[in-house]
Structure 1
Amino acid sequence: MSSAHPASFPFPGAPRHPLPPPPPPTYRTPPRLSPTVPYNRYGAAFRSHLCGRVNLTDVDAQRSISVCGWLHKKRMDHRFWLLRDWSGTLQVTLDDRQRTEWAAWLGEVALESVLRVSGVPQRRPPGQANPRMATGQLELRVEQMQVLNPAAARLPFTCAQWEAAEVGEPVRMQYRYLDLRRAVMQRNLRLRSWLLQRMRRFLHDHAGFVDVDTPYLFRATPGGAQEFPVASQLPGKFYSLAQSPQQFKQLLMVAGVDRYFQVARCFRDESNNPEKQPEFTQLDVEMSFVGMEDVLALVEDLLRFSWPAPEILAEAANFPWTDRDALPPPAFPFPRMSYKDAMTSYGTDKPDTRFAWHIRDITPWARDYRLFGNTPLHPGSTVRAFVAPGAAPLCKKAFKDALDTLVKREYPGVLLSFLTLKPDGSLSRAALPREAAAQLHSLVGGIQGEDLVVVCGGPEERCLKALGRLRLETADYVEKNGKSVREDAFKFLWVVDFPLFARAEEGSGWETVHHPFTAPHPEDAHLLQAGGDLSRIRGQHYDLVLNGAEVAGGSIRLERAAEQRHVLQLLQINPADVGHLLAGLDSGCPPHGGIALGLDRLVCLLARAKSIRDVIAFPKTAQGRDLMAEAPCSLPGKTLQLYHLAVTANTAPDRSHDGG
């Protein structure tokens, strides 16, 4: 075994004979790309293998190999070091002579330093294999070792420290480049990359779509979310960052592109929602000469093709495959549910169908009894309930009080009550006679001894929304206390037949449930001209829900300028704000529709991550701040003057308590 020494820089006590510099790369005619192109073809000057890809075949070959990576751990007085790259970890072993000769130098090398190690892989001694490592049966006997770049002695955290104690999210986001070194973050980013590659391949190569970039700098859009204004050098004139490519993709259909897609960056100022980002990514799709069935079929075929199947993902050159990455495939075709049924049975338009707990109407039964103490129900109120099987022993008074506080704060006018079945077969409320239990049993589909019945009364829409929230809160609480509720599966669901309009939260006007470019349901199109209660009109809007989260939404669009202008007038939106779109629709526009898949949310669910921030390389906090780069930041006065801006208040941001 060779006794070549490690590099001396930057440690003064290290031996003086570094490894020779790597040879210059040789440029050859590129091969035809295929899945079999070796990963190290582009990087062989430094390494022959990835740390996590060294295997027993390399042991049997008895050839020297080279690996590069970050120093993850030191063990047993420098006898064993763990080297890590994105593919995994590899144990490198130093003999007694190396540890003696290099003692001072070895002690100076900090964790997370970048190393290059050469040596011969060999099997670990009997009894020393580590089944938790992909390379746990072998180790690399060091021949040469070089520090390519040392890490500071005291980093904010290391990957090894994370394994011992979780690091808070503000620190992770401030030092994101360290956080991204962790195996789970590498896996998330690579799963996202793999999924996008498969989606692009399906749309472009198999379905005839054209990938078209659309502008980020646009004009203010009516009827949508809060936008980010962008100053221009024209006094008083501003761009707006595009909320989505909605109008551009419709104009591409007018232009005859026929089938468009784009991995689109979108911008919305939604800092009041901690689970949304000010900039996010969606797979944007639009097609001409289609109806709703065509769009839904396309999305199902797209997801079937792109699903991370084990036999495909295991062959990916850039993915650290393990058996836990084998995701159970969903059932195709996806079931469908109307918006009305979703709200009635689940209290939300994004039902989590991994568990039942359906909401039931018990209004006629409840009117005969006092379920809410001395508080009477108002005339016209409804009473609804769901049963949480086996939850009564877990949901004690403190949890029930927390739910009561939640309902009073967020759903004013809704009353809350809890019922359980006593050993004698009667219900827990003393005022209820014994026969009431049998009646309720038939209304809610059965009650067992340890079941908890959650009851709400009040205005119908608010009552259903409250129960939808309580259903999820109760399921989360029961699962945290060790009882399984949700099926371990990916449950997709199409929600269709949304109302086209809803009453505006402020004032007596109307707003769109989706956006103002959605076409009405063909059976309800005549109601647009009839006036009156616009909430009766259904729209050709469809959402795709996965495990209780919306992962896609789209619609069939209004294709005639006159109809579009009429809808804008109903919404009290000035048609001149979208004059360019109206002119396009008046230029011969084909029937068209589309959808956008929220990639951040979809990848988050597939990766089983806690937050969408865990599948985005450089996310913002809930307040829209970049803790790493300290953005947003102030601008110098010269720049403000150039863009005709004046700042009336400007204080430095306090990052000390800025969480995710």
Structure 2
Amino acid sequence: MALPRLLVRALHRAAAAAAPAAPDFNSFVTRTNTCGELRSAHVGQKVTLYGWVQYQRQGLFLVLRDFQGLTQVIIPQDEAHSHVKELLSNAPLESVVRVTGTVSPRPLGQENPKMPTGDIEVKAETAEILNSCKKLPFEIKDFIKKSEALRMQYRYLDLRSFRLQSNLRLRSRLVMRMREYLCNLHGFVDVETPTLFKRTPGGAKEFLVPSREAGKFYSLPQSPQQFKQLLMVGGLDRYFQVARCYRDEGSRPDRQPEFTQIDIEMSFVDQAGIQRLIEGLLQHSWPEERGSITTPFPSMTYEEALAEYGTDKPDTRFGMKIVDISDVLGGSNIHFVQNALSYPQGSIRAIRIPQGVRYLTNKDLESLKESAKSQFKQEIMEIIRRPDGSLKSLLTKFLGEKEKSELIQALNMQEDDVVLLAAGEHKQVCSALGALRLLSANLLEAAGLALRDPTAFHFLWVVDFPLFLPKAENPTELESAHHPFTAPHPSDASLLYSDPTKVRSQHYDLVLNGSEVGGGSIRIHSAEQQRFVLEKVLKEDSEVLSHLIEALELGAPPHGGIALGLDRLISLIVDAPSIRDVIAFPKSFRGRDLMGNAPDYVTPEELEPYHIQVSWPLEEKEAKKN
């Protein structure tokens, strides 16, 4: 029985949607093909290519490059095409040219299997230099080493490299698939929130923007946090944005003053719902060439992460976990051990460095101990297991055979292993050993021991963070561990009013290979609770957030969300050494644009409408005078 015509059409449409066509890179432009497109099937065709001259050899041939690849172009040697020969032979490298010619197979034995277009060449018939290039500050080749400052100054040249081109195109594809997943498959609404707003209490420092009203300033948002919560109050139900965010954090090598996050908020959702959404989002948008990722991602509490890895963003690609040996050494007469255990939060912990004797020098071990001392004020004791099974350490003379045996068993010590031991307050000990675990891994890998697979992607949820932490500058006062809008854990809600230091939060972080790539929380949707957190716990002026508190009084639904750091996520996917390698126009680690020389000075006349005067530091006053 024949299928109804409407059903047939519907099936055709569904099939077309399921198998999207390859992009047409030659639409709307005057080229016939890209430089990475031609194959043996094109032999005999007349083509027009546009690109940059990457290489030219003795007036015989040149290699033409565009965003997609390379094509070898044969320069004609006959008298009839002498003008084409002269033009192409004298074209400086990186000049922009148009070439028209015929695709031919390469002579036998001259094929290049390393090039996708290596079976063919184009015999040039006509050519035009569209823009001649003067001497370059550096060669456009991935393997040529260039200083970071020079790359930033000539970023438009750096962008011509295949590596940066590949990174930016992968980023574009990933964001497009995220949009598809969120908006098309799950009904999210893409909303652009304002860039000019007002100061938010707590959190990172914000960039200020002067207004023409005397003494009044805008603030560039460090995230669209308040707006996305207000969108939930407004009934949008599901919000999404590729959001530009700003933080005035000074010189941070791993941070940018402006960055991009995938910003998400949902109404009537719990923590598990947000986690399932993000796992599905990443699985849907994950680049095929990077393999597949398995869901659900494993989960670990903040306390577990700190106790086993010494950090709230553990790299779970390798072992060397922190081991609690308080029970093993608790009965010994070692003074510093008993002293450490006398504290309320005292513990003895250690990490085992596999084959440490073989791969680490004495200088390496001393540098590890010095690092713990300078960064964490933590003394470290080393223990080595010799090939005969005995232990070498300053500790051994204080230990009986039973304790030595229990220590070997507790740490699973093999011959030539090195153990680093620390005693003291729990958090300090774990933090110090967590840092040494990562430094040891770097040293082992530098010495040739494969420890972390660069092609592996280990996602991890870290949950049950404390809601508040003591302020570093004044430990008697509290600050939000995440931000002041995070809701307390339902089990700890009553502690908020009696002992806020013991309250866990409904905050969750997404960690990938030891880097935080996302963070979010279920939000406070009660105006009364939000006011209490701001005024009583954080001692902040709630008037600054009166608009949000009023909104919470006018029918705010329960809601929660998350933000994924797009720059860091992409840099981990492509294994880039810096997030600057996945951003088209990044700032230097000092927050400067070396290409456009920003930030820059403005004249007093330009500042006048904003009622601002610059108070110059003394040395700059002298410099301006001279």
On the 8 A contact 1:158/1:178 being kept in 2, the answer is no
Matched with 1:423 is 387
Q: Per the alignment, in what secondary structure is the counterpart of residue 136 of structure 2?
A: coil
Is 1:497 the counterpart of 2:461? The answer is no
Which of 442, 467, 490 is 1:522 aligned to? 490
Aligned: 1:404 with 2:369: yes
Question: Residue 271 of structure 1: which of 250, 264, 269 is its match?
Answer: 250
Of 508, 514, 523, the residue aligned with 1:557 is: 523
> Match of 1:78, SS?
coil
| 1:637 corresponds to which of 593, 601, 604 | 604
Q: Deviations over 1:325-352 (max 9, x none)?
A: x112111111111111111101111011
**d(CA) in 1 for partners of 2:392, 2:100:** 72
Distance (whole Å) between structure 2 residues aligned to residue 495 and residue 641 of structure 1? 50
Measured against aligned partners, the alpha-carbon deviations of 1:395-415 in whole angstroms (never above 9, x if no partner) come to 112212222222122101x11
- On the 8 A contact 2:101/2:126 being kept in 1, the answer is yes
- In terms of fraction of residues, the more helix-rich structure is 2
1:63-74 correspondence runs (5 A):
63-74=45-56
Contact 2:63 2:72 in 1 (8 A): yes
Quick one: which amino acid aligns to residue 521 of structure 1? H
The residue aligned with 2:294 is: 331
**2:165 match: secondary structure:** helix
CA drift at 1:126: 2.4
- Following superposition, the deviation at residue 478 of structure 1 comes to 1.1
Structure 1 position 379 matched with structure 2 position 342: yes
Q: 1-side partners of 2:173 and 2:162: how far apart? A: 16
Same amino acid, percent of matched pairs: 45
Cα distance in 1 for partners of 2:485, 2:341 equals 39
Q: Which amino acid aligns with 1:342?
A: A
- Structure 2 match to 1:133: 115
Paired residue secondary structure (1:194): helix
Residues 363-372 or 535-544, more deviating = 363-372
TM-score, normalized by length of structure 2? 0.91
Q: Tell me by how many angstroms 1:272 deviates.
A: 3.6
Q: Does 1:540 align with 2:486?
A: no
The one-letter amino acid paired with 1:403 is: L
Corresponding residue for residue 259 of structure 1: 238
- The answer on whether the counterparts of 2:198 and 2:218 sit within 8 Å (CA) in structure 1 is yes
Q: CA deviation at 1:298?
A: 0.8
The one-character-per-residue Cα deviations of 1:302-359 (angstroms, maximum 9, x if unpaired) are 11111112xxxxxxxxxxxxxxxx1121111111111111111011110111111110
From 168, 177, 191, the equivalent of 1:189 is: 168
| Deviation string, structure 1 residues 180-231 (Cα, Å, up to 9, x no partner) | 0000100000011000000011111110111111111111100111111111
Other structure's SS at 1:52 match? coil
Instruction: Please name the residue that 2:206 is paired with.
Output: 227
- Where 2:357 maps in the other structure, the secondary structure is coil
Counterpart of 2:21, as a letter, is: P
Q: Alpha carbon RMSD of aligned pairs, Å?
A: 2.2
Provide the secondary structure at the position in 2 that maps to 1:469.
helix
Q: Deviations over 1:572-617 (max 9, x none)?
A: 0111010000000001100000111110011111111111100000
What is the one-letter code of the residue matched to 1:511?
E
Superposition map of 1:43-58 within 5 A? 43=29, 45=30, 47-58=31-42
Contact 1:264 1:284 in 2 (8 A): yes
Structure 1 CA distance for aligned equivalents of residues 589 and 459 of structure 2:
27
Describe the SS at the equivalent of 1:290.
coil
- CA deviation digits over 1:385-434, x for unaligned, max 9? 1112223211112212222222122101x111222211221112155155
Structure 1 residue matching 2:129: 3-state secondary structure: strand
Aligned residue identity for 1:423: P
Change in 2 beyond 3 A, CA 1:95/1:107:
closer
- The one-letter code sitting in structure 1 at the alignment partner of 2:324 is D
For 1:52 and 1:607, locate their aligned partners in 2 and report how far apart those are by CA, in whole Å: 21
1:576 is aligned to 543
Whether contact under 8 Å (2:251, 2:591) holds in the other structure is no
> How has the CA–CA distance of structure 1 residues 107 and 422 changed in structure 2, closer, same or farther, with 3 Å as cutoff?
same
1:395 & 1:114 partners in 2: Cα distance?
52
- Which of 254, 260, 271 aligns to 1:281? It is 260
Partner of 1:346: 309
Partner of 1:119: 101
Indicate the SS of the match to 1:217.
coil
CA distance in 2, matches of 1:370, 1:484: 39
Q: Equivalent residues in 2 for 1:386-397 (5 A)?
A: 386-397=351-362
Q: Which amino acid is 2:609 matched to?
A: L
Alignment check: 8 A CA contact 2:88 2:127 kept? no
Query: Where do 1:169-208 residues align within 5 Å?
Result: 169-208=148-187
Select between 593-602 and 477-486 the one with higher mean Cα deviation. 477-486
Indicate conservation of the 8 Å contact 2:87/2:127, yes or no.
no
Q: What's 1:356 paired with? A: 319
Q: Does the aligned pair in 1 maintain the 2:336–2:423 contact within 8 Å?
A: no
Structure 1 residue 39 displacement after superposition: 2.0
Structure-1 separation of matches of 2:338 and 2:120: 71
1:88 aligns with 2:69: yes
569-578 or 96-105, larger mean C-alpha shift: 96-105
Question: How big is the shift at 1:456?
Answer: 2.0
Tell me the amino acid that sits aligned with residue 391 of structure 1. G
> Aligned partner of 1:229: which letter?
L
Change (3 A) 1:652 1:257: farther
> Could you list the per-position Cα deviations for residues 236-257 of structure 1 after superposition, in whole angstroms to 9, with x for gaps in the alignment?
1111101100001101111111
Kept in 1: contact 2:54–2:65 (CA 8 A): yes
Listed one character per residue, the Cα deviations across residues 621-644 of structure 1 (whole Å, up to 9, x for unaligned) are 111000000000001111111111
Rounded Cα–Cα distance in structure 2 between residues aligned with 1:469 and 1:545: 17
- Matches of 2:494 and 2:132, distance apart in 1: 72
Query: 2-side partners of 1:375 and 1:105: how far apart?
Result: 84
Q: Which residue of 1 aligns with 2:9?
A: none
The separation in 1 between residues aligned to 2:65 and 2:433, in whole angstroms, is 48
Q: Is the 8 A contact 2:330 2:337 kept in 1?
A: no
Q: Distance in 1 between matches of 2:384 and 2:333?
A: 15
Matching residue's letter, 1:346: Y
Q: Is the 8 A contact 1:282 1:599 kept in 2?
A: yes
The answer as to whether partners of 1:112 and 1:158 remain within 8 angstroms in 2 is no
Higher mean Cα deviation, 421-430 or 460-469? 421-430
- Structure 1 435/34 Cα, relative in aligned 2: closer, same or farther at 3 Å? closer
Q: Is the 8 Å Cα contact of residues 625 and 631 (structure 1) preserved in structure 2? A: yes
Alignment partner for residue 603 of structure 1, among 570, 573, 591? 570
Contact kept? 2:226, 2:548, Cα under 8 Å: yes
Aligned-partner Cα distance in 1 for 2:108–2:415: 55
Secondary structure of 1:218's aligned partner: coil
Secondary structure class of the residue paired with 2:423: strand
Secondary structure, counterpart of 2:36 in structure 1: helix
Residue 159 (structure 1) aligned with residue 145 (structure 2): no
1:463 maps to which residue?
Answer: 429
C-alpha contact 1:348 1:468 (8 A) present in aligned 2: yes
> Is contact 2:76–2:84 with CA below 8 Å preserved after alignment?
no
Decide whether the 8 Å contact of 2:84 with 2:125 is kept in 1.
Answer: no
Query: SS of the residue aligned with 1:142?
Result: strand
Q: Does residue 267 of structure 2 align to residue 299 of structure 1?
A: no
- Structure 1 position 436, deviation (Å): 4.4
Cα displacement (A) at 1:53? 1.1
SS at match of 1:415: coil
Structure 1 contact 425–437 (Cα < 8 Å) conserved: no
564-573 or 479-488: which moved more?
479-488
Give the partner amino acid of 1:425. Answer: G
- Relative to the length of structure 1, the TM-score reads 0.86
> Are positions 1:513 and 2:513 aligned together?
no
Aligned to 1:589: 556
User: What is the correspondence of 1:422-501 to structure 2 with a 5 Å cutoff?
Assistant: 422-429=386-393, 431-432=395-396, 435-444=402-411, 446-487=412-453, 488-501=455-468
Secondary structure in 2 aligned to 1:420? strand
Give secondary structure in 2 for the equivalent of 1:140: strand
